[in-house]
Structure 1
Amino acid sequence: MDPVIIVGAGPVGLTLALALARQDVPSVVLDEGPGKDEPRLARTVVLGADTAALMERLTGVPLDAIGERWAGWRSMRRKQVMREITFSDTGTDTADDTGPAPVHVAQHVLTGALRAALAEERLVKIAVDNRLDAVEQEPSGVTAHTRGPSGTWWRGSYLVGCDGPRSTVRKLQDIRFPGRTAVERHAVAALRGELPWDGHAVLHRMPPWRTSGPSAGEVTARPLPDGVWRLDWLLPPGKDLVTPDLLVARVRETLAGWHGGTTPAYELLDTGVHTVHHRLARRWRVGRVFLAGDAAHLLGAFGTQGLAEGLRDADNLAWKLAAAWHHGGHEALLDSYQTERRAAVSARLRAADQVLPLLRGGGGIRAYVPGAARGHDALLTDGHLGRGPLGDPGTYADSPLAPGPLEGEVPVDTAPGAPVVDVRVTAEDGSFVQLRDRLGRGALLVVLIAPGTGVWERKHWVGAGLMPRLAAAVTALPYPTELLVAESYPGAAAHTVLLVRPDGHLVTALSGVRPADLYAAAEAAVGGAAERAGTEARAGSAAG
């Protein structure tokens, strides 16, 4: 079968190529550039627990080696500390408010790690200096034409546009991209120097050294490795030119404000202006052509990370394309990509639009409501840390892949459709691994919660209790599945059985071994139930 054609060699396109390769699907990445990324320390990404685990799993590179795992977060207003959070050292999920620490990494460094991993991958071809200019579809595949020194025709099974905000793929498919322009603008500077925050990211609203006007609003400092910091200043509405002199003045003023009036020594490494747009493509799938990342959506107000959503797009789409590539069909499964991901991003955009007047409107009665400032800081913190409606990874509760009511379904602390908690599990070879390490292999995961198994060798319990019956039920499932065992899971009683999708979202939790329920849930999770329902509906319509 022909490879998947990926248009665009940014982080999302490279991630998709690696994710497909890990599931034995070949791909061709069409890169309109020379295959190198310009070092820009003013362009960075903050990765939460799920996207950080995805990057580490695909690249094999610990993010602590290329990024900065924040020690904590501090939210300030004028001279007052509104909120301070200290993160766990491990970077894994915790039950308290601290949560896992985000990792801050320069985008070109992240892309470099992806390129290095792809250089060792035999299933991926990166074609540089190839700019897409035509796409043709047939029932059996896709043909793409590129121009440039190496321009030619390319044949693929599917094509995914990861080619950014001005996506050629989106334009060739005549997909509308409505939304709002310049929702926010930020002046950005990357510098090396000592700040008094010791590895903590800081959001400072209405700093006391700026006394009037919209420009007094907000500055954020986020640490990077090697003593580097990225500083962002929220700019007033409008298109006023941000000159180098203005940026230098802003840097010196801010550093002096944080150091008691004296500007410390620093080295300015990079600058820029970051303009946030909010847009959402009307369609993310046209036949065998898909959109992902900035080609499908733009968001990023209030510190939310648009690239993180693009990485989630790639994770969601990869296993579905792999299923279709290996097994054929799976139209309902492929359709679910647009349904799930577009709904998740749309919810983020709606949340941002709802709070935008509240947080950026200024003045008015809201300024005098008791507790309003603290509430605003909490909302902004959620956006920056990837929490709450402004920042969480999103759930697929209304997915067409969700199973219907199951007799044996029980609640756990993870809602169906939400990302699972990263607990330690025992794999089939007896090794202890993290649950997220088993994702992205194209298989469903069945996790039995069995307290006490962690202190015994696998050979002592693999044939005891529920295990033989559960292993038989797993063998009978209609899709490749891996059986794992965990000592505990938040909110789960002993002998609870979790069914997890290849991208780490919970399908269901069942009380004990229930082969019929487990089969029904697995069939729904890979689109079989929706496919069958659609076939029956078409047959009924034709008969009528």
Structure 2
Amino acid sequence: MDNPKTLKTSVLVVGAGPTGLTLANILGQQGIETILIDRKASTVGEPRAVSIDDESLRTMQAIGLAEAVLENVVKGYGVHYYTRPGGICFGKVEPTASEYGFPRRNAFRQPLLEASLREGLCRFPCVRVLFGHTLVDFAHNADGVRANVASTNGLHTIEAAYVVGTDGGRSSVRQQIGATLVGSSFKARWLVIDIENDDDSFWQTRAFCDGDRPVVDVPGPNKTRRYEFLLQAGETDEEILKPERICELLRPFKGDRPVNIVRKTVYTFHARVADRWKVGRVFLAGDAAHLTPPYAGQGMNSGVRDAHNLGWKLAAVLNGTVGPAVLETYEQERRDHAWALIRLALQLGFVMAPASKLQAWATATFFRATAIVPPVRDYFLKMKFKPKPRFRAGLIDASSSVCADAVGTMSPQPEVRFGQSRMLLDEVTGHGFTLLAIDVDDEALDAVASLPVWARIKATKIAITTSSQTDSNRTTSFVQTTLATAAIPSMYAAAKGCFILVRPDRYVAGVFRATEAESFASRYLAAADVTANPHSAVVGHPQATPSHVLATE
């Protein structure tokens, strides 16, 4: 077109699903000029993902939206495993731990989550959301990305420092950077039926591990429910979606009672990961980077983890807190954990979707036997089988002589006393780096506080006392808090008398004693690509300009 409209921004996010919306909120919170585009007319109106975990809720807390999201969440549900519809229950998974501040498994509705995330973006004048806008193509070099975007008002050009493709399993961004999905050959087709005004009050997931046809029954908020039926070889979409066939499939669960079906569709599930998540200044996140079978409820949650990991790093680079080399650690940190959760989903699929009656019988027999072996029983009931996030390499310092196992893991979020109030720890720490001091004396606090590194990376300094005995006369520069419960997180117990540096995404960057503080700081600044000039990291990044030239939403 002649005279295409042009806009400059810092980050262009392509795809306004949960990953893209979360990423835009993280960037907006840090004042980063961001444009979020999506070819759809609005956020989704139909149910899709149905499970949100404790890590994702902690990210919602980090962007200030936990309260809004939790209004439409069924907290703390588990899974009951049955031999078949009407058969015996041979196993239960009912996790009760909340080490990150929230229950491990929770039911939600994606349209409500996306609406909350979209509303959250209204807080940030630096973020613009453009629905009805489709990425056509882009060119990128060492200085930035120039993207062509089509809408009903014509063709626009957006110049950005970085582009993030959060545009789903058929990602056009992934295709344009030449990345491909590789890995498992797993493929399964499931009929998904979503129901409103459901009359079933049972609030745990039911998994009917039937060798003839596995079925999963998932409760949701506001009297919603989902049924998932594994399709058999030879069954076509057209056949299985017929009203009479739907009624036949639901009859063992609903009888002849009327059912308010709001959506019925066939999904093909895969287990694959992109061979590369970054080319130059272009990144992939969420389903664009990895496809996860639904058995562990981790597909969307993995995308939210991507958004938090990449989002804080992009913001820190653009704000000059760290150097551009930090962005190389995104895929390095996220890839292994994404694969670990895919493997977990495949293992659970072996239980939930047995390939034969013999396999179904063997699985049920095994689980019934574990009920009399407490360690094995608790491994499943408390969901200890879920791989915890753990970075072996990346923006961490693994050379610690103390509490080395904590480095690269997500830090706990206990309830603390802060002044006269009780609150979750993250409500005190803020959104950036946090330096935690666990039962450290005043002399060591003062010595470590004086190091300039904490101001350089804009770290909040928090002193945590694990004993109920506190000294109200302490005058250190650390914010004083006390654990509000008798249970001491194992990480804190192991790190007594030490300091823990926690990253903005709540992962432990390193643990050190006061005497090791200077050497730790030197190593970490080098890893974070920090130079003496605090503004050097943003050289060459295009600056945002007013967005008056683009069409409204």
TM-score (norm 1): 0.79
Q: Distance in 1 between matches of 2:27 and 2:380?
A: 30
Cα gap change, 1:189/1:481 in structure 2, threshold over 3 Å: closer, same or farther?
Answer: same
Cα gap change, 1:233/1:189 in structure 2, threshold over 3 Å: closer, same or farther?
Answer: same
Q: Distance in 2 between matches of 1:237 and 1:437?
A: 51
Q: Distance in 2 between matches of 1:426 and 1:111?
A: 33
Residue from 500, 506, 510 that aligns with 1:508? 510
Deviates more, 1:471-480 or 1:355-364: 355-364
Q: For 1:373-404, what per-residue CA distance to the aligned partner results, in whole angstroms no more than 9, with x for missing partners? A: 459999xx999999556x445211x2132324
Matched ranges for 1:137-536 at <5 A: 137-150=140-153, 151-179=155-183, 183-191=187-195, 192-195=197-200, 197=202, 199-206=203-210, 214-215=212-213, 218-241=214-237, 242-243=240-241, 244-256=243-255, 263-264=256-257, 266-327=259-320, 330-352=323-345, 360-362=354-356, 368=362, 371-374=365-368, 387=383, 391-396=386-391, 398-407=392-401, 409-410=402-403, 415-425=406-416, 433-437=423-427, 441=431, 443-450=432-439, 464-473=442-451, 478-488=456-466, 489-491=488-490, 492-493=492-493, 494-511=496-513, 514-520=516-522, 522-523=524-525, 526-527=528-529
Match of 1:106 in 2: 109
Q: CA RMSD in A?
A: 3.5
Q: For 1:274-298, what per-residue CA distance to the aligned partner results, in whole angstroms no more than 9, with x for missing partners? A: 2211221111111111011111111
Cα gap change, 1:28/1:112 in structure 2, threshold over 3 Å: closer, same or farther?
Answer: same
Please tell me the residue identity of whatever aligns with 1:469.
A
Match of 1:538 in 2: none
Residue from 123, 126, 136 that aligns with 1:120? 123
Q: Among the aligned pairs, what percent are the same residue?
A: 24
Please tell me the residue identity of whatever aligns with 1:502.
P
Cα gap change, 1:515/1:37 in structure 2, threshold over 3 Å: closer, same or farther?
Answer: closer
Match of 1:25 in 2: 32
Tell me, what secondary structure is at the counterpart of 1:159? strand
Deviates more, 1:288-297 or 1:74-83: 74-83
Q: Distance in 2 between matches of 1:383 and 1:194?
A: 33
The Cα shift of 1:119 comes to: 2.0
Cα gap change, 1:264/1:29 in structure 2, threshold over 3 Å: closer, same or farther?
Answer: same
TM-score (norm 2): 0.78
Cα gap change, 1:81/1:364 in structure 2, threshold over 3 Å: closer, same or farther?
Answer: closer
CA contact (8 A) 2:72 2:222 kept: no
CA contact (8 A) 1:478 1:523 kept: no
Tell me, what secondary structure is at the counterpart of 1:395? coil
CA contact (8 A) 2:296 2:344 kept: no
Cα gap change, 1:376/1:289 in structure 2, threshold over 3 Å: closer, same or farther?
Answer: farther
The Cα shift of 1:364 comes to: 5.9
Q: For 1:238-275, what per-residue CA distance to the aligned partner results, in whole angstroms no more than 9, with x for missing partners? A: 5533223212221122234xxxxxx5554333222222
Q: Distance in 2 between matches of 1:294 and 1:382?
A: 32
Q: Distance in 2 between matches of 1:469 and 1:386?
A: 42
Cα gap change, 1:107/1:94 in structure 2, threshold over 3 Å: closer, same or farther?
Answer: closer
Q: Distance in 2 between matches of 1:513 and 1:316?
A: 30
Unaligned residue ranges in structure 2 (runs of 5+): 1-7, 467-487, 532-553
Match of 2:477 in 1: none
Cα gap change, 1:332/1:386 in structure 2, threshold over 3 Å: closer, same or farther?
Answer: farther
Q: Distance in 2 between matches of 1:363 and 1:251?
A: 21
Q: Distance in 1 between matches of 2:115 and 2:127?
A: 16
Match of 2:51 in 1: 46
The Cα shift of 1:12 comes to: 1.0
The Cα shift of 1:511 comes to: 4.3
